[in-house]
Chains A and B, each alone.
Chain A
Amino acid sequence: MSKTVPESLLYGLAAAALEPGLRQVLLFDADFEVLSTTVSILHQFLTVTTEREVAIVPLMGLTQEDDLWGSYVPTSPTTIDRDGDTGLTVAWRDGLLTQNRNDDRWLLIVIPDLTRLSLATARACITLMDAPVAYLERQGQHAPWQPRICWLAACDQNAVGKLSPHLLDRFALRLPAPLLRPESSATAILDWLNTSRLIEYFASSIPLLDTWYKKFTVHHLLPNISQIAIQRVVEYSQGLIHPGVRRELTLARLGRALARLAGDTSVSSQHIDHAASIIGLILPQPEKQSTDVKPSPFEPLAQLPETELPTSQSEIQSGEPSVSDTTLEVSPLINPDELAQLLPAELPLTDPYPEDNSPVDRELFTLQLPLRRQQETSSGRGIIIDSQPASSLEDLALVPTILEAALYQEIRHKNNLDTTNGFIFSPADLRRNRRVPQPEKMLLLLLDYTGLRDCDWQQSLIPHLRWAYVSRASITIIQVGSARAENELRAQRVSARSLLTPSIAEALEAQPGQATPLAHGLEIAHQVLQQAQQHGRATIQETRFVIITDGRGNVPLAASVSGQVKMPVNREGIEDAMQIAQHIQSMKRLEIFLLDPKPQYHTELPLNLAETLGAVLETILRIPEARV
Chain B
Amino acid sequence: MNNKVIDILPYRKIVGQNDLKLALELAYIAGPRLGGVLVSGQRGTGKSTAVRAFAKMMYGDLPVTLPINATEDRVIGGWHIDALMQGKPELQEGLLVQANGRILYIDEVNLLDDHIVNIILDTAATGILVVQRQGINIPATETRFTLIGTMNPEEGHLRPQLRDRFGLMVHITTQPEDRAAILRTVLEFDTALAANGPDSDFLQENRSVEAQTKTKLESARRKLPSVKVSNSVVQQCVKLAEGFKAVGHRADYFLALAAKAQAARVGKTKVAPDHLQVVAPLVLTHRRYEQSEYWSQDDNRRVAELLDTKPTIDVNLSHRISA
Check B42–A243 contact: CB distance below 8 A.
yes
CB<8 Å pairs between A and B, sample of 7: A138-B70, A139-B71, A139-B74, A221-B191, A222-B190, A234-B179, A411-B87
Q: Please give, as numbers and ranges, the residues of chain A lying within 8 Å of B74 by CB-CB distance.
A: 137-142
Q: Which of B65, B182, B195 contacts A221 (CB 8 A)?
A: B195
Q: Please give, as numbers and ranges, the residues of chain B lying within 8 Å of A65 by CB-CB distance.
A: 69
Given A138-B74, A368-B110: A101 and B87 within 8 A (CB)? no
Interface-lining segment among B76-84, B119-127, B301-309: B76-84
Report if A92 contacts B (CB, 8 A). Answer: yes
Given A231-B180, A243-B174, A246-B43: A137 and B89 within 8 A (CB)? no
- Indicate the size class of the contact surface on chain A: 35 or more
Report if A230 contacts B (CB, 8 A). Answer: yes
Within residues 157 to 173 of chain A, which ones have a CB less than 8 A from any CB in chain B? Answer: 164-166, 169-170
B79-107, CB under 8 A of A: which get 1 and which 0? 11110111111001001000000000001
Name the residue among B42, B78, B92 with the largest chain A CB count within 10 angstroms: B42
Check A245–B65 contact: CB distance below 8 A.
no
Residue of A with least CB distance to B192: A222
Q: Please give, as numbers and ranges, the residues of chain B lying within 8 Å of A416 by CB-CB distance.
A: none
B60 → chain A closest CB, angstroms: 15
Residue of B with least CB distance to A65: B69
Interface-lining segment among A124-132, A194-202, A486-494, A541-549: A124-132
Check B85–A140 contact: CB distance below 8 A.
no
Q: Please give, as numbers and ranges, the residues of chain A lying within 8 Å of B43 by CB-CB distance.
A: 165-166, 169-170, 243-244, 246
Check A127–B183 contact: CB distance below 8 A.
no
Q: Please give, as numbers and ranges, the residues of chain A lying within 8 Å of B69 by CB-CB distance.
A: 65, 69, 120, 123-124, 127, 137-138
Interface-lining segment among B148-156, B161-169, B203-211, B283-291: B148-156
Given A140-B73, A165-B43, A222-B194: A428 and B66 within 8 A (CB)? no
- Indicate the size class of the contact surface on chain B: 35 or more
Q: Please give, as numbers and ranges, the residues of chain A lying within 8 Å of B84 by CB-CB distance.
A: 407-408, 410-411
Report if A627 contacts B (CB, 8 A). Answer: no
Report if B186 contacts A (CB, 8 A). Answer: yes
Report if A224 contacts B (CB, 8 A). Answer: yes
Interface-lining segment among B1-9, B250-258, B263-271: B1-9
Report if A32 contacts B (CB, 8 A). Answer: no
Q: Please give, as numbers and ranges, the residues of chain A lying within 8 Å of B67 by CB-CB distance.
A: 127, 134-137
Report if A414 contacts B (CB, 8 A). Answer: yes
A216 → chain B closest CB, angstroms: 14
Check B85–A144 contact: CB distance below 8 A.
no
* A238–B176 CA distance with the chains assembled, in angstroms: 8
Given A139-B81, A234-B179: A164 and B107 within 8 A (CB)? no
Report if A522 contacts B (CB, 8 A). Answer: no
Report if B111 contacts A (CB, 8 A). Answer: yes
Report if B139 contacts A (CB, 8 A). Answer: no
Given A140-B74, A165-B43: A367 and B179 within 8 A (CB)? no
Q: Which of A103, A124, A133, A234 contacts B180 (CB 8 A)?
A: A234
Report if A102 contacts B (CB, 8 A). Answer: yes
Report if A89 contacts B (CB, 8 A). Answer: yes
* A224–B81 CA distance with the chains assembled, in angstroms: 50
User: Which 5 pairs show the lowest CB-CB distances between chains A and B?
Assistant: A244-B44, A243-B42, A410-B87, A365-B156, A140-B81
B186 → chain A closest CB, angstroms: 6
Check B2–A101 contact: CB distance below 8 A.
yes
Report if B114 contacts A (CB, 8 A). Answer: yes
Given A101-B2, A127-B108, A224-B191: A144 and B179 within 8 A (CB)? no
Check B81–A407 contact: CB distance below 8 A.
yes
Check A243–B45 contact: CB distance below 8 A.
yes
Q: Please give, as numbers and ranges, the residues of chain B lying within 8 Å of A138 by CB-CB distance.
A: 69-71, 74
Residue of B with least CB distance to A429: B134
Residue of A with least CB distance to B108: A126
Report if B62 contacts A (CB, 8 A). Answer: yes
Check B87–A127 contact: CB distance below 8 A.
no
Check B194–A221 contact: CB distance below 8 A.
yes
The chain A residues found within 8 Å of chain B, CB to CB, are 21, 65, 69, 72, 89-90, 92, 101-104, 120, 123-124, 126-127, 131-146, 164-166, 169-170, 221-222, 224-225, 230-231, 233-234, 237-238, 243-249, 252-253, 256, 364-369, 407-408, 410-411, 414, 428
Report if B68 contacts A (CB, 8 A). Answer: yes
Q: Which of A141, A244, A369, A408 contacts B174 (CB 8 A)?
A: A244
Residue of A with least CB distance to B177: A234
Q: Please give, as numbers and ranges, the residues of chain A lying within 8 Å of B8 by CB-CB distance.
A: 132
* A364–B114 CA distance with the chains assembled, in angstroms: 17
Given A142-B74, A243-B173, A411-B84: A248 and B111 within 8 A (CB)? no
Given A127-B107, A166-B154, A244-B174: A410 and B65 within 8 A (CB)? no
Given A140-B74, A248-B179, A367-B111: A133 and B186 within 8 A (CB)? no
Q: Please give, as numbers and ranges, the residues of chain B lying within 8 Å of A234 by CB-CB distance.
A: 179-180, 183
* A462–B95 CA distance with the chains assembled, in angstroms: 47
* A69–B62 CA distance with the chains assembled, in angstroms: 21
A415 → chain B closest CB, angstroms: 10
Check A144–B1 contact: CB distance below 8 A.
yes
Q: Which of B86, B111, B114 contacts A410 (CB 8 A)?
A: B86
Report if B187 contacts A (CB, 8 A). Answer: yes
Check B2–A102 contact: CB distance below 8 A.
yes
Name the residue among B45, B85, B174 with the largest chain A CB count within 10 angstroms: B85
B152 → chain A closest CB, angstroms: 5
Check B108–A369 contact: CB distance below 8 A.
no
* A65–B113 CA distance with the chains assembled, in angstroms: 13
* A244–B80 CA distance with the chains assembled, in angstroms: 41
Given A137-B66, A144-B65, A410-B86: A368 and B186 within 8 A (CB)? no
B7-19, CB under 8 A of A: which get 1 and which 0? 1100000000000
A95 → chain B closest CB, angstroms: 10
* A224–B190 CA distance with the chains assembled, in angstroms: 10
Q: Please give, as numbers and ranges, the residues of chain A lying within 8 Å of B176 by CB-CB distance.
A: 238
Given A135-B65, A222-B194: A367 and B71 within 8 A (CB)? no
Identify 11 new A-B residue pairs, CB closer than 8 A, beyond the known A244-B43, A408-B84.
Answer: A127-B67, A137-B70, A138-B69, A138-B70, A139-B74, A164-B155, A170-B43, A225-B187, A248-B179, A368-B110, A411-B88
Report if B31 contacts A (CB, 8 A). Answer: no
Q: Please give, as numbers and ranges, the residues of chain A lying within 8 Å of B92 by CB-CB distance.
A: 140, 142
Name the residue among A89, A90, A137, A249 with the largest chain B CB count within 10 angstroms: A137
Residue of A with least CB distance to B61: A144
Name the residue among B45, B78, B81 with the largest chain A CB count within 10 angstroms: B81
Check B45–A164 contact: CB distance below 8 A.
no
Check B1–A145 contact: CB distance below 8 A.
yes
Residue of B with least CB distance to A128: B67
Report if B41 contacts A (CB, 8 A). Answer: yes
* A365–B154 CA distance with the chains assembled, in angstroms: 7
* A245–B16 CA distance with the chains assembled, in angstroms: 13
Report if B249 contacts A (CB, 8 A). Answer: no
Residue of B with least CB distance to A372: B114
Q: Please give, as numbers and ranges, the residues of chain A lying within 8 Å of B174 by CB-CB distance.
A: 243-245
* A252–B188 CA distance with the chains assembled, in angstroms: 12
Given A166-B154, A243-B173: A123 and B111 within 8 A (CB)? yes
Q: Please give, as numbers and ranges, the residues of chain B lying within 8 Å of A411 by CB-CB distance.
A: 84, 87-89
Residue of A with least CB distance to B65: A135
B46 → chain A closest CB, angstroms: 7
Q: Which of A133, A230, A246 contacts B62 (CB 8 A)?
A: A133
Report if B245 contacts A (CB, 8 A). Answer: no
* A238–B180 CA distance with the chains assembled, in angstroms: 11
Report if B310 contacts A (CB, 8 A). Answer: no
B33 → chain A closest CB, angstroms: 26
A236 → chain B closest CB, angstroms: 11
* A246–B82 CA distance with the chains assembled, in angstroms: 42
* A411–B89 CA distance with the chains assembled, in angstroms: 8
* A247–B155 CA distance with the chains assembled, in angstroms: 20
Report if B184 contacts A (CB, 8 A). Answer: yes
